[in-house]
Amino acid sequence: MTDTTIRREKTVPTADTPVPDPDLSLEPDTRSPRRLGSVFVASVTVCALFVAWGAIFTENLNEVTTSSLNWLTASFGWAYLVVTLALLIFLVFLAFSPLGDIRLGADDDRPEFSTVTWFAMILSAVMGIGLVSYGVAEPISHFTSPPHGLADAGTPEAAVRAMQYSYFDWGLHAWAIFAVFGLAIAYSTYRKGRRTLVSQLFRPLLGDRVDGPIGKAIDVLAVFATLFGTTTSLGLGALQVNNGLATLFGIPVSSVSQVLIIAAVTAVFTLSAVTGVSKGIKYLSQGSAGLALALFVFMLVVGPTVFIANLYTESIGLWATDFFRMSLQGTAFGDLQWMQWWTYFMMAWWVSWGAFVGVFLARISRGRTIRGFITGVLVVPTVVFFTWFTVFGGTAIHVDMFEGGTIGAQTAADINSAFFATLDAFPFASITSAIAILLVVMFFVSGADANTYVLAMMTTGGSLHPPRWVLVLWGVLTGVTAVVLMLAGGLSALQNTVIVTSAPFLVIIAGLAVAFWRDLLLDRRQVQARSAALRTAAAKVDAAAAAPAPDAAAGSSATDPRRDEA
């Protein structure tokens, strides 16, 4: 990840100049810390204990996470739905309010990147493994087993419902989480001059207590959630690569293969993070975006283009019509297992990625207005994800409905085989499967590299140049944790753990939105008070200039001899 640099802007103070927090420099120290604090010690200790627990008592770990998951989702699963919908409503309100004109930085800051480049960077950094892991798997799974019993399996209505719920899981709600984090971090860092830590976002609510135990606990929770979001992606990537290699070369799909894949990729992304090859990661991101586009165009051309267009239109209409119903549809009448496997897992995954994606979005968005940031982050990636899922998922549905395909059956047997089973139904399957494997690996390395950097940064007081050994440590911990979870139960263990570990961080996100809103209001009041003071001072100056000089008038009447004679 490119190092973030906080520049001091040389501006003439005006009524609209941002008001930094007292005693906070607009240029945080970017050097490596001489001494690591309690956040580092607590985070590493907790993660190491978790790894030891999973390695020594594997069955017990699986049993505990499963029972915790059942209790948590049955009791508080609704919170994922309510909080994410509230964040989305908050962002829409903010975009249309006068506060949307505020810039993420000084008032004379302008965006560092063009809008097109900005969109490309967002997509290449955040699209990730999920596009391959779930681009076919989720739609075809919903097609063969429609959510909430809303349609009969394998019917045209089931096809539309499948896309509708895929849109819900990968659309506005996910990007609302990322957008709130990105906005809060950019505003706190570039406009208020604070360190790039999650705890610092709570300064408007907690004051100086963010520098004490409460703030440190918030940062530890952020580290823990980010770690398990990353390990889930690593596990999914390993499963996808293993299935792709099995398709091409007959390599067995087994835990041994998956552990070797995780070990190899962990070595690569850790080396990348340590050496700081920012250009290499930049080219890697650009290359992955190019390969994804090529694969997309290929499927659009050889696939059922007209069917895809019609399915897209109808599914978008149903998604928009049922938006609020889906947003608040819980488990009062059952479907807990389905929600755990899909909606709750997806929401928890997005929550766990919030800190990492937020830091990245903040890094590339300095100088943009709040309104421009919200519009770009919510709308463009959502449209891209909808389109990708329709092209690949819709193609798989068409193959099963009209061509006698068995993609749904293969997915039910092994959900990680869905993407490659779809490619296998079209020409050049070997080539496209190889491209898909390479794409997963590239997403794998670039995403995990950036996550390792963010973990190191958050555990070194927000330092933009963490020590190399800290980067290596977090790279190794990430890989080892992914291996432990894979051995504990594969995909099921990954999903269970990310839901359980992200639950406390959901509360952090809700509080973060409140703190950000308070920050905006306090800043606006200070600006308005300063404007009023300037206007009052100017009015006094104008009044003094317009009034006659009292001393001169008095002096003339007292010394005029003619007035005395009169």
Percent of the chain with pLDDT over 70: 88
Tens-place pLDDT, residues 198-213:
999 999 999 999 999 9
Measured CA to CA, the distance from residue 400 to residue 398 in angstroms comes to 5
pTM for the structure as a whole: 0.84
Tally Cβ neighbours within 10 Å of residue 526.
12
Measured CA to CA, the distance from residue 103 to residue 91 in angstroms comes to 15
Q: What band does 228 get if pLDDT is binned at 50, 70 and 90? A: confident
560, exposed or middle or buried, with CB in 10 Å at 0-12, 13-18, 19+?
exposed
Q: Which two tokens stand for residue 85?
A: 């919908």
- What crossing angle do the helices spanning 429-458 and 468-546 adopt, rounded to 10°? 70
Q: Is the pLDDT of residue 124 over 70?
A: no
Q: Report yes or no: 486 and 235 within 8 Å, Cβ to Cβ.
A: yes
Q: What band does 24 get if pLDDT is binned at 50, 70 and 90? A: very low
DSSP, collapsed to helix, strand or coil, labels residue 21 as coil
Q: Is the pLDDT of residue 324 over 90?
A: yes
Task: Over range 283-301, report the average pLDDT.
Answer: 85
Residue 399 lies in a domain: yes
- What crossing angle do the helices spanning 137-144 and 156-170 adopt, rounded to 10°? 140
Measured CA to CA, the distance from residue 450 to residue 550 in angstroms comes to 71
Q: Which of 466, 449, 447, 378 is nearest to 197 (CA)?
A: 466
Predicted local confidence at residue 549, as pLDDT: 59
- For residue 451, the domain's CATH number is 1.20.1740
DSSP 103: B
Q: Report yes or no: 251 and 257 within 8 Å, Cβ to Cβ.
A: yes
Predicted local confidence at residue 13, as pLDDT: 37
Tens-place pLDDT, residues 341-385:
899 989 988 898 888 888 888 888 899 999 999 999 999 999 999
Q: Report yes or no: 450 and 4 within 8 Å, Cβ to Cβ.
A: no
Measured CA to CA, the distance from residue 542 to residue 544 in angstroms comes to 5
Of 126 and 23, more confident:
126
Task: Over range 274-301, report the average pLDDT.
Answer: 77
Cα–Cα separations (whole angstroms), residue 293 to 280, 512, 539: 20, 35, 61
Residue 563 lies in a domain: no
Instruction: Give the mean pLDDT of the chain.
Output: 84
Tally Cβ neighbours within 10 Å of residue 75.
9
Task: Over range 246-263, report the average pLDDT.
Answer: 88
Q: Which of 460, 374, 441, 466 is nearest to 1 (CA)?
A: 466
Task: Over range 162-168, report the average pLDDT.
Answer: 96
Predicted local confidence at residue 306, as pLDDT: 96
Residue 28 lies in a domain: no
The amino acid at residue 52 is A
Predicted local confidence at residue 493, as pLDDT: 79
Q: Report yes or no: 198 and 512 within 8 Å, Cβ to Cβ.
A: yes
Residue 5 lies in a domain: no
Q: What band does 280 get if pLDDT is binned at 50, 70 and 90? A: low
Rg (CA), the chain: 28
What is the number of structural domains in the chain? 1
Q: Which two tokens stand for residue 289?
A: 């975006």
Q: What band does 117 get if pLDDT is binned at 50, 70 and 90? A: confident
Per-residue burial over 491-516, b if 16 or more Cβ lie within 10 Å, else e, is: bbbbbbbbbbbbbebbebbbebbebb
Q: What band does 25 get if pLDDT is binned at 50, 70 and 90? A: very low
Q: Is the pLDDT of residue 42 over 50?
A: yes
Residue 546 lies in a domain: no
Measured CA to CA, the distance from residue 441 to residue 240 in angstroms comes to 9
Predicted local confidence at residue 125, as pLDDT: 61
Q: Report yes or no: 196 and 189 within 8 Å, Cβ to Cβ.
A: yes
314, exposed or middle or buried, with CB in 10 Å at 0-12, 13-18, 19+?
middle
Highest mean pLDDT among 149-158, 228-237, 444-453: 149-158
Predicted local confidence at residue 363, as pLDDT: 83
Q: How many helices (H) and strands (E) in the chain?
A: 22, 0
DSSP, collapsed to helix, strand or coil, labels residue 405 as coil
Place of tokens 């997403």: 443
Measured CA to CA, the distance from residue 104 to residue 179 in angstroms comes to 13
Task: Over range 428-456, report the average pLDDT.
Answer: 86
Predicted local confidence at residue 302, as pLDDT: 94
Q: List the domain range (segments joined by +) for residue 175.
A: 43-530
Measured CA to CA, the distance from residue 554 to residue 209 in angstroms comes to 61
Per-residue burial over 252-262, b if 16 or more Cβ lie within 10 Å, else e, is: eeeeebbbebb
Task: Over range 124-147, report the average pLDDT.
Answer: 85
Of 3 and 57, more confident:
57
Q: Could you give the count of Cα atoms lying within 13 Å of 258 in the half-sphere of its Cβ? A: 25
DSSP, collapsed to helix, strand or coil, labels residue 5 as coil
Predicted local confidence at residue 281, as pLDDT: 59
Tens-place pLDDT, residues 168-193:
999 999 999 999 999 999 999 998 88
> Which of 504-508's residues contact partners 24+ apart within 8 Å by CB, and which partners?
504/221, 504/225, 505/221, 505/222, 505/224, 505/225, 505/351, 505/352, 505/354, 506/79, 506/80, 506/83, 506/348, 506/351, 508/198, 508/218, 508/221, 508/222
Task: Over range 76-91, report the average pLDDT.
Answer: 94
Q: Is the pLDDT of residue 286 over 60?
A: yes
Of 565 and 239, more confident:
239
List alpha helices for 8-57, DSSP H: 38-56
Predicted local confidence at residue 60, as pLDDT: 86
